[in-house]
Amino acid sequence: MKEFKGISASSGVAIGKAFLYVDDVFSQIPRYTITRDEVELEWARFLEAVLAAETEVLELLERANREMGEEQAKIFESHLMMLRDEDLKDQIQTKLHKSSQNIEWVLWDISRELTQKLSNSSDAYLQERVVDIFDVSRRILHKLLFIKKVSLADLQEEVILVTHNLLPSDALVMNKRLVKGIAMDMGGPTSHTAILARAFEIPAVLGLSRATTEIKNGDLVIVDGNAGHIICNPNKEVLERYQRMAVQLKKMAEDLKSLRDLPAETTDGCRVTLKANIEIPEEAPLALQHGAEGIGLYRSEFLFLTPGQSADEERQYRAYKQVLEGMGSLPVTIRTLDVGGDKIIPDLQATEEKNPLLGWRAIRFCLAHKEFFKTQLKALLRSSVHGNLKIMFPMISGIEELEAALAVLEESKAELAASGKAFSEKLDVGAMIEIPSAAMTADILAKKAAFFSIGTNDLVQYSLAVDRGNERIAYLAQPFHPAVLRFIKRTIDAAHEEGIPAAMCGELAGNPHATALLLGLGLDEFSMSAASIPLVKKIIRSVSLKDCQALASAALACSSYVEVENLVTQWMRQRIAS
């Protein structure tokens, strides 16, 4: 039995066989010279590999149409088109004849040339073909090298996914029904793999460092997403204990379902709003199932992560419309594109930065690409006629950026009006508070924003100078640090003084250990992964606002996050039944 200590990223317990997802095919490509007589044999091998890859993709396309929906199916349609691209085949055949190198190397060399060329293109659509080329080349190389590799979309049985790092694009296309748990070497609780795991309700432990080197395919693995533990090949006693725990957790989840239609109201009548964070439109029904009163954060950047699809105005409009119609009259807050830092999208950001976390990201990136920004804003505005839309700008550092973003929004409205396209004239437009400078000037920003939404993931990162994706220092990312609590309190007070609501969409909002404290600080709206809503609601309905305010006052007087943790833990034990 081996035990690994990591970082809890998504709660729950999962037990199953390990599936090791480490694709290093590009490091295994042989290179050797062939004779003229062997050229035709190499070409025949290539065509045979392409045919086998086509068969795989056709199967995936059929399954995607059946299980995933139209957007995901288009990924495989684009891959099928590339496999059948005669121009691409001609390029490969020409290079094969000229170079007299083996077909694996020729394919890799052509792929590398194409991806470099497209990455440097100014055409966003062409840039997005990079991921397609990478995926298709990898699939063909698996056939040529006789590597039996099952992709995350090809899973045939329930597994515990063990991986070094999981890109958001991988997570979006994986078979979420069969991935029961995730164990990952890299990442922290607010990395995007963690966010997706919570959204898909998959128990996950990240920041393990050595899981992929010590866990083998087929090993029996327990993922304890509550404690941040991974247990490989447990003994009988441990296995039985976790099996009982899994049953208990399932029963608790069933019991919490009875709260779905009840209000999030304290025992002394304070009513707050609970909303859901989503990544993709298909999650909207899940939010309603858990009792969400709207969408508090739709992370629009995930539209730009789907391989082979350009996030043009029409595609964005359809995605936003789908969410708005799915939520009916309930409010939907969509955050404009937030890329950079730990959310790099290679198709959009080819320029490397020495310090991306402090660099060209989020609203800065959008304001620098004004036409690109307008494309998103127009799609958002057009979708507004289909529901109750709110727009939110990320990473606002001061009034200048907020005013500049609002000005581009007004220009987008004028252009839509001139073209005769309908949109709602009156929209609530808010600012995310996730930088210390924004929290310190919240009173100024409140005069221009219709609402605030506190992004605690970045607020903690920037307040404490802790890279949230670095597992070595993830332990320092403490949301209960006195500095973070004071920034939160200052933001909420500034919002209320100006008569606008204060929401929170960072991971702290879905942490049941923080619920009472946030109530006491005056938070109006909590937005979290849909699965977290029932437990947070249960806590809200079990406490009084008066007691929560006393807790918050005591917490603000603490001198360290350890004191705050101990204070909150003791308070919760006294008042909340386990």
Catalytic residue among 232, 505, 548, 558: 505
Judge contact between 303 and 168, C-beta under 8 A.
Answer: no
The residues, ordered by sequence, that sit 6+ positions from 12 with a Cβ below 8 Å of its Cβ are: 181, 201, 202, 203, 223, 225, 226, 249
Across the chain, how many H-helices and E-strands are there? 23, 16
Catalytic residue among 192, 229, 386, 481: 192
Whether 505 sits among the annotated catalytic residues: the reply is yes
| Residue recorded with tokens 């995936």 | 60
Count Cα atoms within 13 angstroms, Cβ side, for 460. 22
Q: Between 129-144 and 103-119, two packed helices, what is the crossing angle to 10 degrees? A: 170
* Pick from 163, 42, 162, 171: nearest CA to 105: 42
The per-residue DSSP string of 320-361 comes to HHHHHHHHTTSEEEEEPP--BTTB--TTT--S--SSGGGSS-
What string of H, E and C letters represents the secondary structure of 72-98?
A: HHHHHHHHHHHHCCHHHHHHHHHHHHH
The residues, ordered by sequence, that sit 6+ positions from 119 with a Cβ below 8 Å of its Cβ are: 127, 130, 346, 350
Whether 270 sits among the annotated catalytic residues: the reply is no
Please tell me the distance from the alpha carbon of residue 325 to that of residue 138, in angstroms, as a whole number: 38
User: What is the separation, in whole angstroms, between the first and last Cα of the chain?
Assistant: 30
Q: Which residues are catalytic?
A: 192, 505
